[in-house]
Amino acid sequence: MPFAVYAALTSTLLTVALIDYDHKIIPNTITLPGLVIGLGLSLWGLPITPLTSLLGILLGGVFFYLIALVSKGGMGGGDIKLIAMIGAFLGWQGAFFTILSGALLGSLVGVSLMVMGKKGRKDKVPFGPFLSVGAILFILWGDDLIHWYLNLLS
């Protein structure tokens, strides 16, 4: 069952990434039902508890909401709902990993685009694709990457 769920989630994340890249929006018609489905599947079908799913929703959603408030438009509502949906499926650990890896990937791409002269500091770059890649990395190799990182610290 988890394989089918994660395959469907991966397809959804790829769809969201492409829509956000092309149109600079993340549709509520994808993220809101996905959030409910992820939380529901934590009751049966996912290897996380409902509490872990709820904490994933709150960690991602509240953190990004606060960023949106502080940055006054630097974070879109679609990104907030996307990370909450990811947290519903992957729990707080997956949401945390997705935020960190998505920010790292987004920063690397953003700086590269500025160095190449294709974007300026004030230009907006959609964040959904980087969150989607971060979540997919967690689905595929999350445990291995976390253990590798923790071993670096010891």
Q: What is the pLDDT of residues 92-141, one digit of tens each?
A: 999 999 999 999 999 999 999 999 998 888 888 899 999 999 999 999 99
Structural domain harbouring 33:
2-153
Number of domains in the chain: 1
Read off the tokens for 55.
Answer: 């904490």
pLDDT digits (tens, 9 = 90+) for 12-61: 999 999 999 999 999 999 999 999 999 999 999 899 999 999 999 999 99
Confidence of residue 149 (pLDDT cuts 50, 70, 90): confident
> What phi and psi, each to the nearest 5 degrees, are found at residue 43?
-75, -30
Evaluate whether 131 touches 86 at the Cβ level (below 8 Å): yes
| pTM of this prediction exceeds 0.85 | yes
User: How far is it, in rounded angstroms, from Cα 126 to Cα 42?
Assistant: 29
Q: Is the pLDDT of residue 1 over 80?
A: no
**Contact assessment for residue 135 and residue 98, using Cβ atoms and an 8 Å cutoff:** yes
